[in-house]
Amino acid sequence: MTSTPVRHHETVKFAIKDFTEFCFYSKLRQRQRETFRLFKSKSLKTFVIAGLVQFSCALELFAQSGANGDVPGIRVEIEKEKHALHSPIGVKIRASQFPAGSSIAIFLSPLMPKGNAFPDGVWSPGCAGPLTASSINAVGKNVLEYRWDGRTTWHAPTDLPRRCTKVLAGKYRIIVHIYGEQDVPLVGRFRPPEPLARSDSETFEIVGMLDVTRVEQDLNNHIVSHVWETLELPNSSSLLHEVLVEKGELIEVGNGVYCMNKKIAFLYQGQIRACTSVPVVTPLGLRIPFGNYNKVRPYKTVSENVEHIWKNLFSARTAVAAPLLDELGLSFANEDQDRDHCQSQVGQIWCRGQVVYEQGKVTLLISVRDWKYLSDKDVWLYSFLSTGLRDAKLLFKDEAFACVEGTGKVLRIRSAAWGTTLHRKLGEAFRDDLFECG
């Protein structure tokens, strides 16, 4: 294709939509905030949130008015139309003349449907963006031949340039910018100058087995979010994490639609099924819609274990709280239900695992740190973090370990100040299922 000079009051805009890219333009910082607000729902707040931060910072390059000096005519050529996945690809850039002191930037751009735009469009989860960390200096040449390895682009997920090595099968273009200066950083916090010209290659295809790992992760995460929201369980359980993080069976049902069947026998009788609501494998490659694109089929029957989790949790937490409330001069009537929530870690959905008791300037917070079920003994183990405050100053920080039998009877409670030798020993016994209930 022939080059397109950048003219006054004319904007040439293209975007490389990729979760792995990290934005370095102020407009994209605003988009990050807008994206977070758009998806700030309970069902997605957990496992989608990590992906959202990367998505909202997708690399978006702008070429606007302000051409400097002569604009060279340039042409981008790809050696052939189809290439095996991760095989080298030759790129040839021809120009009638590269201006003195200029440089060249080469970008990989996934082909998108016409009219594709946020928030209703799609994005490619594979690598995209600049093929080099900085522009290639043009030294008295009118032809530049670049041999791309077919697998590496550059991005800046932490504001520092890093290689991205997950180029996916699909259809692409190469986009070239000519800059009026040399050694231009293309990733990180730097904003490249306005290009003198831009040229796009013809479409080419990278052929190979399609990596649908992203779809698998999203379907599994959607099932997990559905479980957390529906059952409202404290998600600090190592037991649930092990069960839920393990992915279900991914099935291609046809026409680019995928489903996942996941058995969670501990919580449900039967299995949960989640499917993409639209085709994600398209003639262009793997193209994923912005936002939530999955739907969950209702499960059959909730296991009786769910009732036991809550009943025994309440019994254990009540037994742990009672002496602490007496010590602080509080009572169960001082529970501040407006502040009951979950102290969730990064990557966990919001849950209801914390209670707050408060009167005047005295506060007691008790949150679930972990819980598990020992089927061979028919006992439930819980650990709680208890924090006492007066005038916002810390009075104590303890961890209590409770053992409750299947009937709901509290068998034993052991507490220790946080960070002490006893606390460490009790924690190890809890984790290793060696906590004594007798």
Which pLDDT does position 233 carry in this prediction?
74
151 contacts: CB under 8 Å, gap ≥ 6: 86, 127, 165, 167
| pLDDT greater than 80 at residue 371 | yes
Mean pLDDT of 241-248: 78
Mean pLDDT of 262-269: 82
Q: Which of 51-55, 204-208, 433-437 has the highest mean pLDDT?
A: 204-208
What does the pLDDT look like over 114-138, one tens digit per residue?
989 888 899 999 999 999 999 999 8
Which residues on neighbouring strands pair with residue 403, listed in sequence order?
381, 412
What does the pLDDT look like over 277-336, one tens digit per residue?
999 999 999 999 998 899 988 766 788 888 888 889 999 999 999 999 999 999 999 998
Which pLDDT does position 300 carry in this prediction?
64
On average, the pLDDT of the chain sits at 80
| pLDDT greater than 90 at residue 366 | yes
Which pLDDT does position 55 carry in this prediction?
36
